[in-house]
């Protein structure tokens, strides 16, 4: 039987993923502003970093999170769709990697990537996550594995300097209910802003 620790681990995993979602959505909004301002350097910086963050996030989901859910949820087609959506996003990320920020389509490619990602996030948070209330997933073991792998992936994608940010995230993931509801408010603001 799943105990309290297991439910806590599940919530913390979902919060970590949603924290990533929130951060990339913000980055895409900033990217649109920088594209309008024709700030190639600023855009390049934010796009490179966001692509690296998306790669870490998507890899964690593909290697560990989705497989753990596959035998535990009824609507496994959601996982199939999610994986296809990841593939589309990775194609655009690979295109951006080949482009210079001064390329006339760089801003547009980053913007379209943002649209794909926002759609995907809506499905994960709106359809997939709500199915995770009662499952046989061993969340505590999964959480440990995801934290370990996240560290490796961050280092491999040049995000090792963000270990501090990851610590902050972990702290806020296990933080107070007040902090959580504040973040929920922010998220619903973001939804209406879209």
Q: Residues in the site for Fe ion, rule: CB under 5 A?
A: 17, 61, 124
Nearer residue to Fe ion within complex by CB, 34 or 173:
173
Nearer residue to Fe ion within complex by CB, 88 or 99:
88
- Asked whether the beta carbons of 143 and 9 are under 8 A apart, the reply is yes
Minimum distance of Fe ion from residue 71's CB (angstroms) = 18
Among 54, 126, 130, smallest CA distance to 94 is for 54
- The helix/strand/coil state of 23 is helix
Nearer residue to Fe ion within complex by CB, 17 or 27:
17
Nearer residue to Fe ion within complex by CB, 17 or 64:
17
105-122 burial, b for 16+ CB within 10 Å, e for fewer?
ebbebbeebbeebbebbe
What is the signed CA dihedral for 155, 158, 13, 26, rounded to 10 degrees? 170
The set of residues, in sequence order, having a beta carbon less than 8 Å from that of 181 and lying 6+ positions away, is: none
Nearer residue to Fe ion within complex by CB, 18 or 34:
18
H or E element, residue 145: helix 139-156
Nearer residue to Fe ion within complex by CB, 38 or 83:
83
Angle between helices 4-36 and 139-156 (to 10 degrees): 30
Minimum distance of Fe ion from residue 17's CB (angstroms) = 5
Minimum distance of Fe ion from residue 125's CB (angstroms) = 8
Minimum distance of Fe ion from residue 104's CB (angstroms) = 29
Provide the residue count of the chain: 194
Minimum distance of Fe ion from residue 100's CB (angstroms) = 28
Please give the residue whose beta carbon sits closest to Fe ion in the complex: 61
Minimum distance of Fe ion from residue 12's CB (angstroms) = 15
């Amino acid at each position: 039987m799943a105990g309290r620790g297991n439910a806590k681990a599940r919530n913390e995993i979902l919060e970590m993923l949603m924290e990533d979602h929130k951060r990339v959505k913000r980055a895409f909004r900033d990217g649109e502003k920088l594209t309008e301002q024709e700030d190639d350097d600023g855009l390049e910086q934010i796009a490179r970093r966001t692509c690296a963050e998306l790669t870490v996030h998507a890899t964690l989901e593909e290697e560990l999170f989705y497989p753990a859910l596959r035998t535990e949820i009824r609507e496994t087609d959601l996982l199939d769709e999610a994986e296809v959506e990841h593939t589309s996003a990775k194609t655009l990320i690979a295109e951006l990697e080949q482009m210079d920020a001064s390329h006339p389509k760089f801003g547009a490619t980053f913007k379209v990537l943002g649209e794909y990602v926002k759609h995907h996030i809506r499905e994960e948070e709106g359809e997939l996550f709500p199915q995770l209330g009662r499952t046989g997933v061993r969340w505590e073991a999964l959480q440990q594995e995801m934290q370990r792998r996240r560290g490796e992936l961050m280092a491999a994608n040049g995000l090792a300097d963000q270990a501090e940010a990851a610590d902050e995230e972990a702290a806020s993931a296990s933080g107070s209910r007040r902090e959580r509801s504040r973040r929920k408010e922010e998220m619903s603001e973001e939804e209406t802003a879209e």
